Amino acid sequence: MDLQLKHKIALVTGSTAGIGHGIATALAREGASVIVSGRTQAAVDVAVAAMRAETHGEVTGFAGDLSVAADAERLYAQHPHVDILVNNMGIFEVRAFADLSDDDWRRFFDANVLSGVRLARLYLPQMLKRNWGRIIFISSESGYQIPAEMIHYGVTKSAQIAAALLPAAPSFWPAAFCNAPSRIACVKGFDRWPSIPASRHMATCSANACAVTARM
21: helix, coil or strand? Answer: helix
Of 75, 86, 103, residue with least CA distance to 28 = 86
Look up residue 179 and give its DSSP letter. Answer: B
* Catalytic residue flag (residue 144): no
First-residue to last-residue Cα distance in the chain: 29
Look up residue 134 and give its DSSP letter. Answer: E
Helix, strand, coil in percent for the chain, rounding step 5: 45, 20, 35
Residue of 76, 123, 144, 153 marked catalytic: 153
116: helix, coil or strand? Answer: helix
Residues marked active site are found at 153
